Amino acid sequence: MEYRQIWNLDQVLHGSGCSYEKIEKKLDELLDQIQKIPLKIPDIFLPYQTLLDEVHEAGSLIACLSSSDISDTKATKAEAKYNSIAATLESVLQKLQKLLLDLSESEFLQLLKNQETISFPLKKMREEGREKMALEKELLASELSISGHAANTTLYYSFIGSLTFKTKEGELNLSRLEKLFSHADRQTRQDAFASMEKELTKHEAIFAQILNNIVDFRLTLYKQRNWQSCLHETLSKNRITEKTLMTMWETVSQNKAPLVKYLHHKAKLLGLKKLSWSDIDAPLGSLEESKIPYSEGCKNIITQFGTVSPRLAEFSKTALKQGWVDAKPGPKRRAGGFCTGIPLLKESRIFMTYTDTFDSQSTLAHELGHAFHSHVLYDKSPLSQNYPMNIAEAASTMCEMIVADSALKSATDPKQKLLLLDDKLSSYVAFNMNLHSRFLFDTRFHKKREKGYLTPDEINDLMTSSQKEAYADALESYLPHFWCYKMHFYFTDVPFYNWPYTFGYLFSLGTYNILLNNNFEDRYIALLKDSGSLSIEDLAKKHLDVNLEEPAFWQGAIDLLNANIDEYTHLSL
C-alpha cells in the first residue's frame, strides 16, 4: 500500500467528515450536552471527560479543514462556533474548580482516593482554582474572550493567510514562499525574505494592533488574578518551576561560542564571509542532491524508528498508510504544520507541507512523535491524557533525534554525512538561538506592554535586538518583521509558545542519551504514559533520576551537540 499524502477525515467526529451540515449539527448537540452536565461531585467527572474528547475532536476536524484551505469561509464560520462551545466547556472547568475548592481538606483527600485515576489533574485543578479570580469574574472573562481575545488569533490567521508575496515565480502565499527559505540558490533565498519583509512592512500596523491587543488582554487578566509575573501561566500550564526554566536558558546562554563557531564555519563552506538570516538554513549541496521524495521519507522514518523502537515504527507505518497525514503542497494551504488528536477514534491527524527536503522529513518525524505520544496515552482517562506542551515537544523532537542519529550512523559517504550533520546542527541553531530570540522578545514585549502601546518601529527594534543577543551577533543581517511572520506570538490560548520547543529539544536529547542502550523502548513509553500525571521535575526524577533545576542535565545534552560541531568542522576540512 502507498504512503498516503492526503488525509482521510471520513470517520472523524462520528462520521461528520467534510460535511459542514453534519459538523454544525454535532456542535449543536455538544452545546446541549455541555449545558446538561451535572454540577455535582462525583457525578460531573464522567460526562465532563466524555465531552472533553468530543469537543477536542470537533476542534481537530475544523482545524484540519481550515488548514488545508485557508479560503474556506465555512471552516472559518465553524471555527467561530467551535470557539464559543469550547469556551462554554471551559466554564464547566471553572465551575468544577469551584466545587473542588469548596471541599474541606479531608473531603478532598477522600475524593483523591476514590478517583485515583485522575487524582493528579484534580490536585492541579484545585491548585489553579486558588490562583484565579472569583468564579463570576472568570466566567465573564471567558465569555468576553470569545469575540475579543481569542478572536485575535482567528483574525491573524485570516489576514496573514490572505497575503501574497511577489517573487520571480509569481505571487506566492506564505506556505509556498517558505519553500524558498532553504533554496540552494542564495539570491532566491534573499529575494524570498526581502519579499516577505516588504509585504509585512506594508501591513505592520495591523499586526502591531493585533499583538498589542492580545498581550494587553492577557496582562489585564493577570493583574486581576494578582499574578506577579507574566510567566505565571506558562509555568503553571507546563508544570515546571521558574528555576528549571531559567537554569535551562542560562545553560543555553553559556554555550553560544560553539554555535557561533558552527555558523562561521558554514559561512566558509558557502563561500561567504558571514551568514545572513537568509543563509541559516541554506543547504550545503544542491537542491537535487538533497532531495527526498515523500515515499522515500516515509520509508526512512519507519526504518530509523525501528532501530530503537519497533512499536514506534509499526505505529508510524499505520499512520502513514491509513490517511492520517496531509502533506501534499497546494496553493490554498496554511503555512506551518501540526498534529492534532482524534480521541474518539484513538487516532491523530498531521498537517504539513512536504517539500522533498531533509527538513520536511524531520518535520514529518516530529509530528509522528506527537501522534505516538497521544497513542500511548489513549488507554488513560481523558483528564490524565492532558500533558503539557514542553513534554509534548520532547516527544516530537525525540523522533527527530532518532531519525537524525540513525541516518548519521548509517551514512558512509563523507559528503552525505556532512549534509546530515548540517541538518542536525541547523536544528541546534533553531532551538538554542532562534527560539531563544523568541523567548527574549516575548518576555520583553510583555514587560514593555505593561507601560503602554508599542509601535511597529519599537517592536521591530525589540525583535532585532533579541535576535542579535540570541545569535551572539554572529549574523550579517536579521529579520525585523519576524514577529509578524511567526504565528506562535498570536496564540491566545497558549502564552509563550516558544521556550517549550527548546525544553523539548534538550530534554529529548538528554533522555535519548540516558535511555538509548538501557531498555529504551519500555522506559521511554513509561515516561510518556506518566506525562499527564506528574510535574516535569518529578517526571525527570522518576524516569531519568535527574534534577532539572541543576545545570548538569542541560549541559550534558548540549555537550553532545557541541561534539557534533567538532565532528562537522573536522569532516569539512
CA 189, CA 272: separation in Å to the nearest integer? 14
CA 30, CA 36: separation in Å to the nearest integer? 10
Secondary structure, 3-state, 311-379: HHHHHHHHHHHCCCEECCCCCCCCCCCEEEEECCCCEEEEECCCCCCHHHHHHHHHHHHHHHHHHHHCC
Rounded mean pLDDT of 104-112? Answer: 98
Q: Single out the residue of 382, 370, 393, 390 nearest to residue 324, CA to CA.
A: 370
Rounded mean pLDDT of 358-381? Answer: 94
| pLDDT at position 456 | 98
Q: By the 8 A CB rule, do 298 and 320 touch?
A: yes
Residue 287, pLDDT > 50, answer no
CA distances from 454 to 28, 204, 477, 490 (A): 41, 12, 23, 15
Residue 134, pLDDT > 90, answer yes
| pLDDT at position 381 | 96
Rounded mean pLDDT of 111-122? Answer: 97
DSSP-derived secondary structure letter, 445: H
Residue 288, pLDDT > 60, answer no
pLDDT digit string (tens) for 336-350? 889 999 999 999 999
Rounded mean pLDDT of 218-245? Answer: 97
Q: Which helix (H) or strand (E) holds 171?
A: strand 170-172
Residue 1, pLDDT > 90, answer no
Task: pLDDT band for 290, please (50, 70, 90 cuts).
Answer: low
pTM of structure: 0.91
Type of residue numbered 501 = Y
Q: By the 8 A CB rule, do 470 and 190 touch?
A: no
Residue 51, pLDDT > 80, answer yes
Q: Single out the residue of 534, 546, 509 nearest to residue 238, CA to CA.
A: 534
- Give every CB contact of residue 171 below 8 A, 6+ residues apart in sequence: 164, 165
Type of residue numbered 101 = L
Size (the chain), residues: 573
| pLDDT at position 70 | 85
Task: pLDDT band for 224, please (50, 70, 90 cuts).
Answer: very high
Q: By the 8 A CB rule, do 175 and 353 touch?
A: yes
Distance, CA of 3 to chain centre:
25
- Give every CB contact of residue 44 below 8 A, 6+ residues apart in sequence: 37, 38, 92, 96, 99
Rounded mean pLDDT of 141-160? Answer: 90
CA 346, CA 59: separation in Å to the nearest integer? 15
Type of residue numbered 553 = F
Residue in this structure with the C-alpha cell 497513542, named with its chain if needed? 375
Which residues share a beta bridge with 165?
172
For 404-419, b where at least 16 C-beta lie within 10 A, e where not — what string?
bbbbbeeeeeeebbbb
Rounded mean pLDDT of 380-392? Answer: 96
Distance, CA of 142 to chain centre:
23
Rounded mean pLDDT of 37-53? Answer: 97
CA 138, CA 565: separation in Å to the nearest integer? 50
Q: How many C-beta atoms lie closer than 10 Å to residue 163's C-beta?
A: 17
Task: pLDDT band for 244, please (50, 70, 90 cuts).
Answer: very high
Rounded mean pLDDT of 402-428? Answer: 87
Q: By the 8 A CB rule, do 551 and 250 touch?
A: yes
Q: Single out the residue of 324, 369, 321, 331 nearest to residue 348, CA to CA.
A: 324
| pLDDT at position 282 | 92
DSSP 257-319: HHHHHHHHHHHHHTT-SS--GGGTT--SS-TTTT---HHHHHHHHHHHHHTT-HHHHHHHHHH
User: How many degrees, rounded to 5, is the angle at CA 349 between CA 423 and CA 311?
Assistant: 70
| pLDDT at position 128 | 94
Phi, psi (rounded to 5 degrees) for 165: -125, 130
Rg (CA), the chain: 23
Q: For the chain, give me the number of helices (H) and strands (E)? A: 26, 5
| pLDDT at position 413 | 86
Residue in this structure with the C-alpha cell 535519548, named with its chain if needed? 512
Q: What percentage of the chain reaches a pLDDT higher than 90?
A: 84
Which residues share a beta bridge with 350?
325, 339
Dig out the grid coordinates for 504 from the structure: 523539548
Residue 246, pLDDT > 80, answer yes
| pLDDT at position 147 | 84
Dig out the grid coordinates for 415 from the structure: 559528503
Q: Maximum CA pair distance of the chain?
A: 70
pLDDT digit string (tens) for 177-205? 998 998 989 999 999 999 999 999 999 99
DSSP-derived secondary structure letter, 37: -
CA 162, CA 169: separation in Å to the nearest integer? 18
Dig out the grid coordinates for 183 from the structure: 533554496
CA 98, CA 40: separation in Å to the nearest integer? 11
What sign results for the dihedral spanned by CA atoms 257, 259, 262, 266? negative
Q: How many CA atoms lie within 13 A of 40 on its CB side?
A: 3
DSSP-derived secondary structure letter, 170: E
Q: How many CA atoms lie within 13 A of 408 on its CB side?
A: 18
Average pLDDT value for the chain: 94
Rounded mean pLDDT of 61-65? Answer: 96
pLDDT digit string (tens) for 519-543? 999 999 999 999 999 999 999 999 9
